[in-house]
A and B are shown apart, each in its own frame.
Chain A
Amino acid sequence: MWKLICFILLTSGIAKAANAQATPYVKSFYSLPLTLDPIKMNDTASLAVSNLIYDGLLKFSPKLELQGAIAESWTTSSDGKKITFKLRPNAVFHDGTPISSDDVKNSLERAISSESKVRKLYDCIEGADESKVKSKSTDVGIETPDKKTIVIKLKHPFPPFLSVLAGATAKVLPKHLVNSKDFFSHPIGSGAFRYNEKMSAQKRIFLQAFDSYYSGTPQIKEMVLEEHTEDEALSLAKNARVHDLANWPLPNTNDVFKFGNRITTPVAATWIIGLNTTRPPFDKIAVRQALKSAINSNQFRERFYPDAIPATGYVPFGLPGSGVVTKNKLNDSAIAKEKIIMVIPAELAHASEMKVFFETRLKALGWKFDVEVLPWEKLMEGYSKKRHQAFLVSMNMDYPDAEFLLRNFESSNPDNFSGIKNTKLDSLIAESRTLQDRKKREIVYRQALELLDELSVTVNLFYPRANNWVNKCVRGFEPNILSDVYIDYSKVSLDESCLSSVVKK
């Protein structure tokens, strides 16, 4: 009898375990990652996937507190120029190799290398000059006193640097594998999920829970990342075939929320129309200012994202430097004679309505304004190559500091989408980096942002409020106020009993 009970318990346990692994967690993206190399990432989908499969030294809590990831602890020298990290003894890569300080050093050196698109984020590291990087000089301020200790020396104190290290581009990759040819087609990281397979035809990526993850095995055993259009994603979500639409900028009025939970939070992002100063007619400040004055941001927000926060400057609400606009009156009369083409992502649900919205209003004001709806991939390609005159994008912040947004306008930044070159702006940005005092830094930010507003390289539309849709059976989902990129999925789970009851219904 006892044996029978044991057998029943055992088999029911096995059945339960089988059930627990039965349903993969499906997360929908508007685009699969354009790259899996952290130092080349510039789009949200890539950054989100990076955060799932890789780990950095640090990470952000949902409320932007810095927490140790691979690093167990860290200390900053009194002059703020030396940061010492102690690595977790139990942190390993997906292939089981322990993570060493050499791996960290190599990853940081990759980040400041010439191939890195995010090199500017790390240029405060001692010796991270372009010339030295190009000459492959080893004299970079990154030291490894032992296998579990890494010391980073900075040219000058730069408090946001810790936030940079918590960002989705500051990931640690295995030194012994990263240079292999096909590494990024099947990457090895140390994040909560290991990369399993990509089915390009089906536009799917399969991830598996990493059993040796330093903070414990994630509760989601299998995660599937799928690329959809917004309509597809919404339909699949309603039918419970997709469990997570956190990557989608959904207004709170979307009826998909009747079929799941809406977990809302502000995010450190700003929706803008970027104006390329290298392309006429936006090489003229008067035209940029006139267009900025002509676009009614509030109308756009109320029409398409009514729960978003009205834009009051370039920096999102709630961050130092927010609400800063120029004190000078903008020119509102220099309507360009040239034709202007603005591109917007095709994946947006109301892309065609947005096209009509802009074209109708601006043409009525005398602008020769056309809107082109482009797939995200193409839009990003044009963005990188600075081909677009104007483009509608959401600027998501990698770390919660105005410096992240301002550095986009530095003359020397290859990622300067506006192409603006302004020495005063450059000097203000450079000055801000040298200030350890938050208040003093904020004052410099404000000066830079006032100037930026006057330069009118962006039309600030709104600050989005993320309306994260998750299936009703998703548990432990906690949004991050920086971005959906930083949601900690190691704590998220699917309630199998809830799912089976939904299926029965």
Chain B
Amino acid sequence: MKVTTVPFHHYVEKNLNPYKWGLSLFASLMMAGFFSFVVIKVQIDSDGKILSALSPYVATLAESSDRPEILRVLENAAKASLSKIVLVKDGHVFGTSGSVSELDTAFQKPIIDFKFFDVLISNGQIVSFSKESESMLYVFTKVAPIVQSTLGIFISTFIGCILLAFISSMQMKRAIRKALRPLNQLHQEIEKLSSFEEIQSEPMKIHELEKIRQTLHSAKIDLENAKDRLAEEKAQKMSADAFKRLIHDLHNPVAALRTMVKLAFDPSVNSDDKTEIFENLPRVADQILGQVTSAKRNLEEEPIALRETDVLKTIQDSVQQMSILSTSKRIVTDIACDEAMVAHDPALLKRALVNLLENAVAAADSVVRVSVQKDVVGTFIRICDDGDGMDESMIPLYLQGRLPSGKANRQAFGLSSTNHIVRSHGGKLIYRKSNLGGSSFEIRLGAV
């Protein structure tokens, strides 16, 4: 399931939306309610005052049947109060500020549709009344204008609140963006931490975030130290393994030397054989000596730490170095990956690669090819040349340093040293016939 992410300020805004509308609605309702309450209260008070002021006078006029004066009073009072006033006598309309057609007709007592304390609503009108002797005085005030005003207040309050909420929301978004800057900084630092980039860390103004940054910083240092320790331990382990292999490699030649010496002094062995043994004894001894000398040199150059870094960079450095030295022969690269993280000592591995490249350049007719492949098993570095190639049966002897180098007057420390370095990285050096026609040495690193 795909999760859609939104920026934090949008997230906050989206989550605040219901409150924004709800709050505006609530405020508008409260305001409109308060307004209508006040208006109705004022109207009822006003109607009450009109009734108490008019009642005694109108009742006196009613006793005198002075309708013209009653009509004049009611008309003027109704005009001032924007209400309709009706005087009822003996159940009939005796005076009204409304139509004269109502006069002397039976008064229809208002049916109260709604009652709330002293508020009486009948047929869309607020009804107030008072009784004075034989007559009743009614004041009818239309609710519609009050409702219209209330609606106006509601709408204007709602618009005002919504505008205010939008402005607040915009300010909040700005504030969130500003507040998120340290978080973004922290995020960048964490990203750089994972990509092993150099971090330009600056102190933050927010206390909690600064604490996180400091913790992150110290964690990074601890991690690097741990990695160093791990690399060193790994290097030590690999050195120990290399020493074990040297002992293992020496075991056979030394055992062969012992057998040859034993046979040389065995009376049962014929003279011809003894002669051959005596002839080969110095060669075997030399090989053992060569192997021991090579091992001695190799053991002096053990990796200090094996850190997991991109081996491609080491390869490219080596190729670049050899390309400068070798002007007559072309070194081509075929690298099939962007990155190959391998725990290695870049200086030491570079030396091994340079050894192999020197050999390949020396043996090649025109081209040396360096190819790199990476898969789940590990990383494979192949150095091939288009020269004559090597005697495959002699390769183990070269790798063990038991044969002298062909290209210089020295023991074949190059291959032996390269082999040792590869092994000290937990890898393997394998010889194959190159498809270019010459030799192909493959360094297998990683999970070998």
Let me know if A476 is at the binding interface, CB within 8 A.
no
Interface string of B59-77 (1 = CB under 8 A from A): 0100011111101100100
* B70–chain A nearest beta-carbon distance, Å: 8
A318 near B94: Cβ-Cβ < 8 Å: yes
A63 near B100: Cβ-Cβ < 8 Å: yes
Q: How far is the CA of A58 from the CA of B412 in the complex (A)?
A: 144
Interface centre among B72, B75, B101 (most CB of A within 10 A): B101
Let me know if A104 is at the binding interface, CB within 8 A.
no
A442-B64 contact, Cβ under 8 Å, with A318-B94, A465-B104, A481-B103: yes
A439 near B65: Cβ-Cβ < 8 Å: no
Q: How far is the CA of A445 from the CA of B71 in the complex (A)?
A: 21
A64 near B64: Cβ-Cβ < 8 Å: no
Interface string of B272-294 (1 = CB under 8 A from A): 00000000000000000000000
Count B interface residues, CB 8 Å.
Answer: 15
Q: Which of A260-268, A342-350, A352-360 contacts B (4 or more CB under 8 A)?
A: A260-268
- Neighbouring A residues of B64 by C-beta, 8 Å: 320, 438-439, 442
Q: Given A64-B67, A64-B72, A439-B64, list of 9 further CB < 8 A pairs?
A: A65-B75, A264-B101, A266-B100, A317-B104, A319-B65, A323-B65, A438-B69, A478-B100, A480-B100
Let me know if A321 is at the binding interface, CB within 8 A.
yes
- Neighbouring A residues of B67 by C-beta, 8 Å: 64, 318-319, 400, 481
| Partner pick for B68 among A309, A319, A465, A478, CB 8 A cutoff | A319
A479 near B66: Cβ-Cβ < 8 Å: no
Let me know if A322 is at the binding interface, CB within 8 A.
yes
Give the nearest-CB partner of A322 in chain B: B65
| Partner pick for A479 among B69, B75, B100, CB 8 A cutoff | B100
Q: How far is the CA of A100 from the CA of B69 in the complex (A)?
A: 32
Q: How far is the CA of A319 from the CA of B67 in the complex (A)?
A: 6
- Neighbouring B residues of A438 by C-beta, 8 Å: 64, 66, 69
B72 near A65: Cβ-Cβ < 8 Å: yes
* A445–chain B nearest beta-carbon distance, Å: 9
Interface string of B116-156 (1 = CB under 8 A from A): 00000000000000000000000000000000000000000
Let me know if A62 is at the binding interface, CB within 8 A.
yes
B65 near A317: Cβ-Cβ < 8 Å: yes
Give the nearest-CB partner of B71 in chain A: A63
B65 near A318: Cβ-Cβ < 8 Å: yes
What would be 14 A-B contacts, judged by CB atoms less than 8 Å apart? A64-B68, A64-B72, A65-B75, A265-B103, A317-B104, A318-B65, A318-B103, A319-B67, A320-B66, A322-B65, A438-B66, A439-B60, A479-B100, A481-B67
B66 near A266: Cβ-Cβ < 8 Å: no
Q: How far is the CA of A266 from the CA of B75 in the complex (A)?
A: 17
Give the nearest-CB partner of A323 in chain B: B65
Q: How far is the CA of A321 from the CA of B68 in the complex (A)?
A: 13
Interface string of A317-342 (1 = CB under 8 A from B): 11111110000000000000000000
A265-B100 contact, Cβ under 8 Å, with A64-B71, A400-B68: yes
Q: How far is the CA of A309 from the CA of B60 in the complex (A)?
A: 22
Interface string of A449-493 (1 = CB under 8 A from B): 000000000000000010000000000001111000000000000
The A-contacting residues of B in range 358-396, CB under 8 angstroms, are none
Interface string of A149-178 (1 = CB under 8 A from B): 000000000000000000000000000000
* A318–chain B nearest beta-carbon distance, Å: 4
Q: How far is the CA of A157 from the CA of B162 in the complex (A)?
A: 68
* A310–chain B nearest beta-carbon distance, Å: 11
Give the nearest-CB partner of A446 in chain B: B64
Give the nearest-CB partner of B76 in chain A: A65
- Neighbouring A residues of B65 by C-beta, 8 Å: 317-323
A479-B101 contact, Cβ under 8 Å, with A65-B72, A321-B65, A438-B69: yes
Q: How far is the CA of A479 from the CA of B102 in the complex (A)?
A: 12
Give the nearest-CB partner of A468 in chain B: B101
Give the nearest-CB partner of B67 in chain A: A318
> Nearest 6 A-B pairs (CB), nearest first?
A318-B67, A63-B71, A64-B68, A265-B100, A322-B65, A266-B104
Task: Give chain B's interface secondary structure class.
Answer: helix
- Neighbouring A residues of B69 by C-beta, 8 Å: 438
Give the nearest-CB partner of A309 in chain B: B104
Using a CB–CB distance below 8 Å, which chain A residues touch chain B?
62-65, 263-266, 309, 317-323, 400, 438-439, 442, 465, 478-481
Q: How far is the CA of A433 from the CA of B66 in the complex (A)?
A: 17
A265 near B101: Cβ-Cβ < 8 Å: yes
Interface string of B201-227 (1 = CB under 8 A from A): 000000000000000000000000000
- Neighbouring A residues of B60 by C-beta, 8 Å: 439
A266 near B68: Cβ-Cβ < 8 Å: no
Q: How far is the CA of A323 from the CA of B90 in the complex (A)?
A: 13
- Neighbouring B residues of A319 by C-beta, 8 Å: 65-68
- Neighbouring A residues of B71 by C-beta, 8 Å: 63-65, 481
* A349–chain B nearest beta-carbon distance, Å: 22
- Neighbouring B residues of A62 by C-beta, 8 Å: 100
Interface string of B77-101 (1 = CB under 8 A from A): 0000000000000000010000011
Give the nearest-CB partner of B102 in chain A: A265
* B367–chain A nearest beta-carbon distance, Å: 93
| Partner pick for A481 among B75, B94, B100, CB 8 A cutoff | B100
Interface string of B166-193 (1 = CB under 8 A from A): 0000000000000000000000000000
Give the nearest-CB partner of B103 in chain A: A266
* B138–chain A nearest beta-carbon distance, Å: 18
A318-B100 contact, Cβ under 8 Å, with A63-B72, A65-B71, A439-B64: no
- Neighbouring A residues of B103 by C-beta, 8 Å: 265-266, 318, 481
Q: How far is the CA of A304 from the CA of B104 in the complex (A)?
A: 19
Give the nearest-CB partner of B74 in chain A: A63
A263 near B101: Cβ-Cβ < 8 Å: yes
Q: How far is the CA of A172 from the CA of B67 in the complex (A)?
A: 28
* A271–chain B nearest beta-carbon distance, Å: 15
Q: How far is the CA of A320 from the CA of B64 in the complex (A)?
A: 5
- Neighbouring B residues of A309 by C-beta, 8 Å: 104
- Neighbouring A residues of B72 by C-beta, 8 Å: 63-65
* A389–chain B nearest beta-carbon distance, Å: 32
Give the nearest-CB partner of A481 in chain B: B100
Give the nearest-CB partner of A324 in chain B: B65
* B13–chain A nearest beta-carbon distance, Å: 55
* B89–chain A nearest beta-carbon distance, Å: 10
- Neighbouring B residues of A64 by C-beta, 8 Å: 67-68, 71-72
Interface string of B35-77 (1 = CB under 8 A from A): 0000000000000000000000000100011111101100100
Q: How far is the CA of A316 from the CA of B68 in the complex (A)?
A: 12
* B78–chain A nearest beta-carbon distance, Å: 11
Q: How far is the CA of A264 from the CA of B68 in the complex (A)?
A: 18
* B58–chain A nearest beta-carbon distance, Å: 13
Q: How far is the CA of A50 from the CA of B75 in the complex (A)?
A: 28
* A180–chain B nearest beta-carbon distance, Å: 38
* B108–chain A nearest beta-carbon distance, Å: 16
- Neighbouring A residues of B68 by C-beta, 8 Å: 63-65, 319, 400
* A268–chain B nearest beta-carbon distance, Å: 9
Interface centre among A265, A321, A480 (most CB of B within 10 A): A265
Give the nearest-CB partner of A439 in chain B: B64
- Neighbouring B residues of A480 by C-beta, 8 Å: 100
Give the nearest-CB partner of A262 in chain B: B101
- Neighbouring B residues of A439 by C-beta, 8 Å: 60, 64
Q: How far is the CA of A322 from the CA of B104 in the complex (A)?
A: 14
Give the nearest-CB partner of A402 in chain B: B65
- Neighbouring B residues of A318 by C-beta, 8 Å: 65, 67, 94, 103-104
- Neighbouring A residues of B94 by C-beta, 8 Å: 318
- Neighbouring B residues of A400 by C-beta, 8 Å: 67-68
- Neighbouring A residues of B101 by C-beta, 8 Å: 263-265, 479
B66 near A442: Cβ-Cβ < 8 Å: yes
- Neighbouring B residues of A323 by C-beta, 8 Å: 65
Give the nearest-CB partner of A64 in chain B: B68
Q: How far is the CA of A65 from the CA of B94 in the complex (A)?
A: 16
Give the nearest-CB partner of A318 in chain B: B67
Interface centre among A64, A318, A478, A479 (most CB of B within 10 A): A318
Q: How far is the CA of A64 from the CA of B103 in the complex (A)?
A: 13
Q: How far is the CA of A263 from the CA of B72 in the complex (A)?
A: 21
